[in-house]
Amino acid sequence: MEKELMLEGMKCDGCVATVQEKFSAIVGVEKVTVDLEGKKATVQMNQDISEATFNEVLADTKFKVTGSK
């Protein structure tokens, strides 16, 4: 299954790398593609993962998930 997450706070390639690393560490996440310009992440998962879970792993960063599709 796939989820597109809208992100707030990303400004550079370092931001992209941080989000990708944090999301990839979540159990059930198989692949993460982060789009800096589009301010979103596309996540391939083998189970449903809540928006809250993604925000939890970003808690120690300046980034935030603001919505999903």
pLDDT in tens, 40-56: 999 999 999 999 999 99
Q: Kindly list the structural domains of the chain, giving each domain's residue range(s) and its CATH number in brackets, ordered by start.
A: 2-68 (3.30.70.100)
pLDDT at 13: 96
pLDDT at 62: 95
Which distant-in-sequence residues (6+ apart) come within 8 Å of 35 by Cβ?
41, 42
Other CB atoms within a 10 A radius of the CB of residue 61 amount to 13
pLDDT at 34: 98
pLDDT in tens, 1-35: 999 999 999 999 999 999 999 999 999 999 999 99
How many Cα atoms within 13 Å fall on the side-chain side of residue 10? 24
pLDDT at 37: 97
Burial (CB count within 10 angstroms: exposed 0-12, middle 13-18, buried 19+), residue 53: middle
The answer to whether the Cα torsion of 57, 62, 11, 37 is positive or negative is positive
